[in-house]
Amino acid sequence: MLYHVPALLEESIIGLNIKPDGIYVDVTFGGGGHSMEILGQLKKGRLIAFDQDEDALRNAPEDRRFTFLCQNFRFLKNNLRFLGIESVDGIIAVLGVSFHQFDEPERGFTFRQDAPLDMRMNKSGTVTAASLIRNLDERSLASLFYDYGELVNSRKIARELVAARALKPITHVSDIINAIGKLAPPRQENKFYAKVFQALRIAVNHEIDYLKEMLEQALDVLNRHGRLVVITYHSLEDRVVKNFMRTGNFEGEEQKDFYGNLITPFIMVNRKGTVPDEHEISVNKRSRSARLRIAEKI
């Protein structure tokens, strides 16, 4: 049973340019919405799905063409080799937190409900948001909020958290809000807390580092003319994806040949990316920050 409405579903599936007998990978299975659409277009093909959250297994279909792996997508290449697969025709990734994870308060992903500060996508992980706040020094906390939340007042946030944790452990959502609430800009509180929680979540799950690992492996395993389809939900991960698709590196540094042509492993299919239209946003408000990027391996 699907537990969320997939964003940019039609556009992303079209972007994969599915061949009925091809091999495809959904590295972020989640609620299974994109995978179900892929299976609907396969005949003798095969679909491999990854998700490190064991809850996603509930949505896995019983289909001989489908294989589910409860693994982080950073292990893409090794797991495909284990299955005897050296190359694939398309890879899709929907980054960030699934709607299911947001909707389970006990996972601690949202500031809208009080809950333990967990934020682990993989429940067997040992690092939580609470343990980061407890163990990092003030400078490291400031860097975390600046690098992953793009918060200009990151030093003040870190200072307030360090002062608050000296009085009592910060273990719940309400503890953070009580500690740093006075720093939230008027009428922009939700945006402020969203960035704070985003920064903690990215750090807990090593999201940017693991994304880079997956993208490099995706380039290795994609067939010529294979498609890489990625949906992002915030500027940090979108920048990583855009730079890699455009230049083949994460810094976006252009390399050109003798004739001035850009040296890149991909052709950008939708150069500026695709965002949901007004109708989709009205039906699925959570899609409003989604951006779809599609690239084809040269």
The partner residues of 297 in beta bridges, in order of sequence, read 266
CATH topology of domain 9-99+207-297: Rossmann fold (3.40.50)
Sign of the alpha-carbon dihedral angle for 200, 203, 206, 208: positive
Predicted confidence at residue 108, as pLDDT, reads: 57
Please, are residues 151 and 233 in contact by the beta-carbon 8 Å criterion?
no
Which class for 272: exposed (0-12), middle (13-18), buried (19 or more C-beta within 10 A)? exposed
pLDDT score of 112? 80
* Tens of pLDDT, residue by residue, the chain (298 residues): 444 578 999 999 999 999 999 999 999 999 999 999 999 999 999 999 999 988 889 999 999 999 999 999 999 999 999 999 999 999 999 997 755 554 565 565 677 888 999 999 888 889 999 999 999 999 999 999 999 999 999 999 999 999 999 999 999 999 999 999 999 999 999 999 999 999 999 999 999 999 999 999 999 999 999 999 999 999 999 999 999 999 999 999 999 999 999 999 999 999 999 999 999 999 998 899 999 999 999 9
291 token code pair: 């951006």
Query: Which residues, at least 6 apart from 231, have a Cβ–Cβ distance to it below 8 Å?
Result: 7, 8, 12, 93, 94, 95, 290, 291, 292, 293
pLDDT of residue 122: 87
- Cβ atoms within 10 Å of 24's Cβ, excluding its own: 27
Tell me which DSSP letter residue 296 carries.
E
Residue that the structure tokens 């273990």 belong to: 171
Q: Which residue has the tokens 């500690």?
A: 179
Question: Is 104-205 CATH 3.40.50.620?
Answer: no
Domain ranges (residues) in the chain: 9-99+207-297, 104-205
User: Can you list the alpha helix ranges (DSSP code H) found in 33-181?
Assistant: 33-41, 76-82, 99-103, 129-135, 138-149, 154-167, 173-180
- Measured in Å, how far apart are the chain's first and last C-alpha atoms? 37
Closest CA to 185 of 147, 165, 156, 213: 156
23-26 vs 222-232, strand pairing mode: unpaired
Candidates 253, 249, 231; CA nearest to 240 is: 249
